[in-house]
């Protein structure tokens, strides 16, 4: 595999990993934060539509 | 009377243990399906582009993330206007949730674009119109989040953020139209905003699958982030109430120690 092909493959894989990694990590942090806060807030104040 | 009470308690669903609900589960399910399709077509099934080659596979991530970011920023702007009109916590929370998610998607867009630029132009970054206006847009919304993090009265903080949310949206059409208004390195519109897209067949299918997945994930995140923000406000209120109660008890003259 040539150097340019290697760069191309790394950049393609990197772009998909960055996208899924960043959005996935953010999503997980929001979910975990919500679960942590739910233990503090009384049930009658956490009713979703 | 007692029987009725027990029956109503047993039929009432328990309070959720997080920010999820049936609606978010359905939405998340749809997003997951479109993500799987986007991965299959974007990485494996669709052929390389005649001009872009395999780098089109980066565009399958680049375009959906920027559209998700634009949507989040528009939600922030609308919520900011609504907050200044209605002055309710709902619009403030929705606006801040949109800004945070918009920054996430836009930062990812810029990184994806830089990786595409490395392959196509040989460099990660060029100070050309689209990239420069994008950097300004990202900095403006990071500023929004920074202002939100400054300790202040909630209403004052919400008003400051609402003003920034309205001012910052002006930059979105400038970023989007930068490729038409100024000569730069960044390529023009390929799919969105064109009558005759420069791609077709499985490439177009991969792009639209990724686009729908990106927008669904954005909405899913927005709902969870909004609810987490709502819970944080309630927890903060509880902490304040508790502190006030403790202070009241401390200052009460009827305690044993004081006597």
Q: What is the DSSP string of B129-184?
A: HHHHHHHHHHHHHHHHHHHHHS---HHHHHHHHHHHHHHHTTHHHHHHHHHHHS--
CA distance A5 to chain B (A): 9
Tokens for B12?
A: 């009432």
CATH number at residue B96: 1.20.120
What are the pLDDT digits (tens) for B215-253? 999 999 999 999 999 999 999 888 777 778 888 888 876
Size of interface A-B (CB pairs under 8 A): 113
Total domain count, chain B = 1
In chain A, residues with a C-beta closer than 8 Å to the C-beta of B116 are 11, 15
What are the pLDDT digits (tens) for B91-123? 999 999 999 999 999 999 999 999 999 999 999
Q: How large is the C-alpha radius of gyration of chain A?
A: 20
Distances (CA, A) of B224 to A20, A23, B230: 17, 13, 10
By residue range, what is the domain housing residue A34? 3-45
By residue range, what is the domain housing residue B147? 27-189+206-233
pTM of the entire predicted model: 0.88
| Model pLDDT, residue B127 | 93
| Model pLDDT, residue B105 | 98
What are the pLDDT digits (tens) for B125-143? 999 999 999 999 999 999 9
Residue A36 CA to residue B109 CA, distance in Å, equals 30
| Model pLDDT, residue B181 | 86
Of the candidates A14, A16, A38, the beta carbon closest to that of B18 is on: A38
Taking the Cβ of residue A49 and every Cβ of chain B, the question of whether any pair is shorter than 8 Å is answered with yes
User: What 3-state class would DSSP assign to B213?
Assistant: helix
Total domain count, chain A = 1
What are the pLDDT digits (tens) for B181-200? 887 777 766 666 554 556 77
CA distance B11 to chain A (A): 15
Q: In sequence order, what are the beta bridge partners of B49?
A: B53
Mean pLDDT value across residues A34-48 = 87
Residues 6+ apart with CB under 8 A from A30: B19, B221, B224, B225, B228
| Model pLDDT, residue B8 | 44
In a domain, B250, yes or no: no
User: At residue A4, does pLDDT exceed 90?
Assistant: no
Q: Report CB contact under 8 Å: A27, B16.
A: no
| Model pLDDT, residue B193 | 56
Instruction: Tell the burial category of B30 from Cβ atoms under 10 Å away from its Cβ (0-12, 13-18, 19+).
Output: middle
In chain A, residues with a C-beta closer than 8 Å to the C-beta of B19 are 30-31, 34-35, 38, 48
Max Cα distance, chain A (Å) = 62
Taking the Cβ of residue A16 and every Cβ of chain B, the question of whether any pair is shorter than 8 Å is answered with yes
Residue A31 CA to residue A41 CA, distance in Å, equals 15
Q: Report CB contact under 8 Å: B221, A30.
A: yes
């Amino acid at each position: 595999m040539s150097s340019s092909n290697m760069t191309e493959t790394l950049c393609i894989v990197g772009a998909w990993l960055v996208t899924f990694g960043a959005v996935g990590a953010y999503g997980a942090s929001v979910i975990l934060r919500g679960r942590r806060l739910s233990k503090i807030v009384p049930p009658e104040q956490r009713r979703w539509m | 009377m007692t029987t009725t009470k027990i029956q109503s308690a047993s039929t009432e669903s328990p309070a959720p243990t997080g920010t999820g609900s049936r609606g978010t589960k359905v939405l998340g399910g749809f997003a997951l399906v479109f993500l799987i399709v986007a991965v299959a077509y974007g990485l494996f099934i669709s052929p390389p582009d005649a001009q872009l080659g395999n780098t089109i596979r980066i565009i399958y991530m680049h375009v959906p993330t920027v559209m998700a970011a634009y949507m989040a920023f528009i939600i922030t702007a609308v919520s900011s206007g609504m907050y200044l009109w209605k002055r309710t916590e709902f619009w403030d929370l929705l606006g801040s949730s949109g800004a945070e998610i918009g920054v996430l998607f836009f930062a990812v867009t810029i990184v994806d674009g830089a990786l595409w630029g490395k392959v196509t132009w040989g460099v990660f970054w060029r100070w050309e119109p689209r990239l420069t206006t994008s950097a300004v847009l990202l900095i403006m919304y990071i500023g929004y989040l920074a202002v939100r993090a400054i300790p202040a009265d909630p209403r004052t903080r919400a008003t400051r953020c609402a003003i920034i949310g309205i001012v910052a949206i002006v930059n979105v059409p400038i970023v989007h139209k930068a490729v038409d208004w100024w000569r730069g390195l960044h390529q023009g519109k390929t799919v969105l905003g064109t009558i005759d897209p420069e791609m077709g067949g499985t490439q177009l299918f991969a792009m639209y699958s990724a686009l729908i997945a990106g927008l669904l994930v954005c909405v899913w995140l927005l709902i969870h982030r909004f609810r987490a923000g709502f819970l944080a406000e309630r927890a903060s209120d509880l902490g304040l109430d508790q502190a006030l109660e403790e202070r009241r008890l401390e200052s009460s003259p009827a305690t044993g120690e004081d006597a």
